[in-house]
């Protein structure tokens, strides 16, 4: 019997009209029953003497509201072992990468680095290969940032470069496909697809699982896009694959999205609502990243002593306009508490110059906060209005551009002065440094990070290995070395290397 006939039959037996508001419930009951028997429809329940039960008694014996609340559990994360059927317009073979080579470029924050690793994990399982050579790539994917206007302009400039590469593609090769991933894809959807028709694939931060399908559609010459935001997607079952084989650090994402709705910020609109990953999936990822690090975290207090504490402004009035949820006084109190709890902690922060309505007095308070806290690292920018934000709709971008830039320069100057003072405390100390690789500015120097995540530069010279007395070695990425600090600036520490050591055997002397 058709489910609709079931609904009508149950309605007639209960005396309900055809438009009763509970018809959907009857339909659910019939559908559930039809999964057991497709040829029968449930008849009204009867008392022991065969007479139909009245509505009140049947209602009392039926499921309660709590039953439906319990049944409506939160959506479960997909298991990595699940294999979904392909959409009806694509075959399973078309969803496979067929060893096409993917070139990935990442712009923006650490979350985008993690997104790149998630996207690559998904594509790798679909049969794509990774390449670091732009010229041999069949697919170029840019993981983008939309936090500031300059970040978006960088992508537009890059797309013009890639358009030339796409135009010169030999006809004998597979056509080059270009994709925009992440926040900019979410924010500028139609504009990206329509401007000069450069982009083949568009995927928002919650659509990376859909990349194989989007690329399969692009193979037919069509543009493909998925920028739907999700309330539950955390990629908990997707194990990120590090895109840099020589990397000595990794990011573990514990949540996605944001609910803070700071008035200057686009993130809630490009990454959606805040949702946390299941704790079990976080622990599983951390374990797979490094069992040794987990053990050391559990046994010893040698975790990097650095905390990023974004302030944005030193004025309580501006912080309220930004909807940051704290005052200057509360922020300073938190700084003191952190420094009391972790002696020698390194602090970094973000600051915005020239937010809506910022006065000269507000700016002076931000300058004074920089002097009071003495950050070791800082990220400072002039404010740029972003569409869709609360500030765009309710505030006025009334600080002239030249004033913003002048205030920014003053903040940068003060930050550098105070950071230099803070970093000079390390001069004369011997510090344990994790080697990252060659210095960007000198082929004869190496670069690494100390316990406060500060950059340390030292000559690439032979040294003693404490575990092999008499053996002279050169430091390699991933090694631990002891460095005697001889000078400090606002950005880096400099010194000379003493020896190669290990976490277990090292000791800092200052």
For 17-48, write each residue's pLDDT tens digit.
333 333 333 333 333 333 333 333 344 445 54
| Residue 187 near residue 155 (C-beta atoms within 8 A) | no
The answer to whether residues 214 and 238 touch, using CB atoms and an 8 Å cutoff, is: no
Tokens of 434: 């994790």
Q: What is the reported pLDDT for 43?
A: 44
| Spatial separation of the C-alpha atoms in residues 357 and 355, rounded to whole Å | 6
Q: How far is CA 164 from CA 60, 136, 189, in A?
A: 72, 15, 22
The Cα–Cα gap between 113 and 254 comes to 14
User: pLDDT band at 250, cuts 50/70/90?
Assistant: confident
The reported pTM is: 0.59
Residue 196 tokens, joined: 């000069």
3-state secondary structure of 192: helix
The pLDDT, as a whole number, for residue 483 is: 96
Question: What is the bridge-based pairing of β-strands 377-382 and 430-438?
Answer: unpaired
Residue 456's contacts (CB-CB under 8 Å, 6 or more residues apart) are 431, 433, 447, 448, 449, 450, 483, 485, 492, 493, 494, 495
pLDDT at 60 over 70: no
CB 451 within 8 A of CB 431: yes
112 vs 130: CA distance, rounded Å = 18
Decide if pLDDT at 219 tops 80.
yes
pLDDT at 234 over 70: yes
In Å, what is the CA distance from 254 to each residue of 86, 103, 108, 208, 238? 30, 26, 18, 17, 13
Cα–Cα dist 111/43, whole Å:
56
Range from 83-92, 246-255, 423-432 carrying the lowest mean pLDDT: 83-92
Domains and CATH numbers, the chain: 86-284 (3.40.50.12160), 288-425 (3.80.30.20), 427-501 (2.40.50.140)
């Amino acid at each position: 019997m058709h489910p609709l006939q079931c609904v009508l039959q149950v309605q007639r037996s209960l005396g309900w009209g055809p438009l009763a508001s509970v018809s959907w419930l009857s339909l659910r009951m019939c559908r559930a029953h039809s999964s057991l028997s497709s040829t029968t429809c449930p008849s009204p329940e009867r008392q022991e003497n065969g007479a139909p039960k009245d509505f009140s008694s049947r209602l009392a014996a039926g499921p309660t509201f709590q039953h439906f609340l319990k049944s409506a559990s939160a959506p479960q994360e997909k298991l990595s072992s699940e294999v979904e059927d392909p959409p009806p317009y694509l075959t399973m073979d078309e969803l496979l990468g067929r060893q096409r080579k993917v070139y990935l470029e990442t712009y923006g924050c650490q979350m985008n680095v993690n997104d790149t690793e998630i996207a690559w994990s998904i594509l790798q399982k679909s049969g794509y290969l990774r390449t670091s050579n732009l010229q041999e790539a069949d697919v170029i994917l840019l993981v983008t940032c939309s936090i500031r206007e300059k970040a978006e302009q960088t992508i537009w400039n890059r797309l013009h470069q890639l358009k030339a590469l796409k135009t010169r593609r030999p006809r004998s090769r597979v056509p080059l496909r270009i994709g925009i991933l992440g926040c900019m894809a979410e924010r500028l959807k139609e504009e990206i697809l329509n401007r000069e028709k450069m982009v083949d694939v568009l995927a928002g931060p919650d659509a990376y699982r859909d990349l194989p399908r989007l690329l399969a559609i692009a193979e037919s010459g069509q543009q493909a896009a998925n920028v739907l935001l999700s309330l539950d997607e955390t990629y908990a079952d997707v194990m990120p694959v590090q895109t840099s084989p020589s990397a000595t650090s990794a990011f573990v994402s514990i949540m996605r999205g944001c609910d803070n709705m700071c008035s200057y910020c686009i993130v809630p609109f490009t990454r959606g609502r805040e949702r946390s990953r299941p704790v079990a999936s976080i622990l599983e990822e951390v374990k797979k990243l490094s069992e040794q690090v987990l053990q050391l975290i559990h046994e010893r207090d040698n975790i990097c002593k650095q905390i990023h504490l974004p302030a944005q402004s030193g004025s309580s009035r501006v912080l309220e306009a930004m909807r940051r949820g704290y005052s200057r006084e509360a922020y300073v109190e938190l700084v003191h508490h952190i420094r009391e709890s972790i002696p020698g902690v390194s602090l970094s922060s973000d600051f915005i110059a020239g937010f809506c309505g910022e006065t000269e007095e507000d700016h002076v308070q931000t300058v004074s906060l920089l002097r009071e806290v003495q950050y070791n690292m800082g990220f400072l920018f002039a404010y740029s209005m972003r569409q869709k934000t609360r500030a765009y709709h309710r505030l006025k971008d009334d600080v002239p551009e030249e004033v913003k830039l002048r205030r920014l320069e003053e903040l940068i100057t003060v930050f550098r002065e105070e950071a230099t003072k803070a970093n000079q405390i390390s001069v004369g100390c011997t510090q344990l440094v994790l080697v990252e690789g060659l210095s960007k500015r000198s082929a004869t120097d190496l670069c690494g990070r100390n316990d406060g995540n500060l950059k340390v530069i030292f000559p690439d010279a032979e040294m003693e290995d404490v575990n092999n007395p008499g053996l002279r070695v050169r430091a390699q990425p991933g090694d631990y070395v002891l460095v005697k600090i001889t000078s400090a600036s606002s950005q880096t520490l400099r010194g000379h290397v003493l020896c190669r050591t290990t976490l277990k055997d090292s000791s800092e002397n200052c």
